[in-house]
Amino acid sequence: MQHPAFEEVTVHHHQTDDKSFKKKIIKTTVILSIITIVELGLGLLMYALDLPDDLRRLMLKGVIIILSLAKAYFIVSIFMHLGDEIRNMILTIVIPLLLFIWFILAFIIDGNSYKNLRNKYDKHFQERTMEKKDVKELLKKPGGKE
Amino acid sequence: MSTQATVHQTKWWSGGKSPFNLEYGKLMMWYFLMSDAFTFGAFLISYGSIRFSQNYWPNPNVVFDSAPGIHGGAPLFFVSIMTFILIVSSVTMVLAVHEGHKGNRQGVIKWLAWTIVGGLAFLSCQAWEWHHLITGEHAVLVNGQVELWGQNMSHNPWGPVVEGVTYHGHHVTTPGPVAFGGYFFGITGFHGFHVFSGVIINIIMLVMAQKGVFDRRGHYLMIEKAGLYWHFVDLVWVFVFLCFYLI
């Protein structure tokens, strides 16, 4: 269908072929659902195994993050049709988003460093927030909380 | 492919046409969504930064383990329903946009209506979840005494469990990090506000389609823009779901 009101648009590349379109949408929906179920499975696995905060837990979380990024890719590329746009258009959206790499790393590292500094210099903070607690002390001492 | 050939031969920057092969409104919608992505990104990164600065953070499997009629013991069950509702409403929106390409008014109306139903269902679920968190009562050990706390902006009952102490057969915890409530309600609330405004936009689109406004214009490009917004809401939920419920 030509859009008479938008002659600045050069190429109309939206397919109206019903069959292949429906197929593509169903396929994407199934992929998104499966990824979500796998994510939930991994999240519950983390809980069921009661993993300590070690490398294995971190790796599971990494897998879940990668799966979420895959989901985001499918939503943006297929549902939002960004994959059908021309290269210039794709790049003008995607390149600014690269800023997130710095954004995430900088602030996560900052938060982590703040924790380490506080644990080192503010023993009260560490005692108050660490998971292992002396039960008797908690029950006895009024003013145990800040 | 003739389309492919045109794409390669076109001098995009020679003027008189959109160098991005998009009409103005849709391009601006993309840029708005990009800036909105940074807004959400800033919120979520701030949450991550605070979370990394704490020695202890509540386990989502413990916090979100109830659903209507299920009191505990069903971790992530309710939120996965919410996630599927949003995915399905995204699919119905794709179908509405597709019917718009074909200029099929009845098809647009049908799928837009289903999208609105999905959005309202999601909002209802979120309302229940908030209500449940705020009004729930959990035994928390404060100054050597048990107090009953709900999850709100100033209280967090999801601290470490105190071993060997029970209160009417329930676990007793110490207070958890207060920041949890503010971030959870702030970010899911901001997302819920996007869903809400998306529903409003879709209702306006539905009325306009019903009245034949798009038929008179000769195109359904407004539906495409509303669709982009709606998919973005779904996209943000992927990351809210990731940050608050999964990891």
Mind listing the pLDDT tens digit for each residue in B200-238? 999 999 999 999 999 998 889 999 999 999 999 999 999
Is the domain of A52 the same as that of A115? no
Nearest Cα of chain A lies from the Cα of B184 at a distance, in angstroms, of 18
Is the domain of A9 the same as that of A65? yes
> For chain A, what is the domain count?
2
Is the CB of residue B100 less than 8 Å from the CB of residue B132?
no
Is the domain of A75 the same as that of A104? no
Is the domain of A81 the same as that of A114? no
> Rounded to the nearest 5°, which phi and psi values hold at B145?
-130, 150
The letter for the amino acid at A45 is L
Is the domain of A6 the same as that of A65? yes
Whether residue A60 is contained in a domain is answered as: yes
Q: Which residues of B touch A14 (CB under 8 A)?
A: 101
Q: Which of A5, A100, A114 sits opposite B217 (nearest CB)?
A: A5
Domain that holds residue A115: 98-146
Whether residue A62 is contained in a domain is answered as: yes
- Angle of helix B105-135 relative to helix B77-101, nearest 10 degrees? 160
CA pair distance B72, A43, nearest whole angstrom = 17
ipTM of the modeled complex: 0.89
Looking at residue B8, its pLDDT comes to 65
Comparing A1-5, B99-103, B110-114, B148-152, the range with the smallest average pLDDT is A1-5
Is the domain of A74 the same as that of A143? no
Whether residue B206 is contained in a domain is answered as: yes
Domain that holds residue B241: 17-135+180-246
* Residue A33 confidence (pLDDT) above 80: yes
Whether residue B43 is contained in a domain is answered as: yes
Is B18 close to A8, i.e. CB distance below 8 A? yes
What is the DSSP secondary-structure string of B160-205?
Answer: -EEEEEEETTEEEE----THHHHHHHHHHHHHHHHHHHHHHHHHHH
* B146 touches A: beta carbon within 8 Å: no
Whether residue A49 is contained in a domain is answered as: yes
Q: Which of B21, B30, B48 sits opposite A9 (nearest CB)?
A: B21
Whether residue A124 is contained in a domain is answered as: yes
Whether residue A76 is contained in a domain is answered as: yes
* B30 touches A: beta carbon within 8 Å: yes
Whether residue B147 is contained in a domain is answered as: no
> For chain B, what is the domain count?
1
Q: Which of A21, A115, A141 sits opposite B54 (nearest CB)?
A: A115
For residues B136-146, give the mean pLDDT. 88
Whether residue B50 is contained in a domain is answered as: yes
Q: How big is the CA angle at B231 (ends B227 and B234), to the nearest 5 degrees?
A: 150
Of A64, A86, A108, the last residue of a domain is A86
Whether residue A141 is contained in a domain is answered as: yes
For residues A61-83, give the mean pLDDT. 93
Interface of A with B in 43-82 (CB under 8 A): 43-44, 46-47, 61, 64-65, 68, 71-72, 75-76, 79-80
* A38 touches B: beta carbon within 8 Å: no
Q: Which residues of B touch A100 (CB under 8 A)?
A: 41
Is the domain of A67 the same as that of A137? no
Residue of chain A minimizing CA distance to B230: A80
Between B135 and B70, name the one with better pLDDT. Answer: B135
For residues A116-134, give the mean pLDDT. 82
* CATH classification of the domain holding B51: 1.20.120.80
* Residue A136 confidence (pLDDT) above 50: yes
Contacts (Cβ under 8 Å, ≥6 apart) of B118: B85, B86, B88, B89, B92
Query: Two tokens at B121?
Result: 């269902």
Whether residue B89 is contained in a domain is answered as: yes
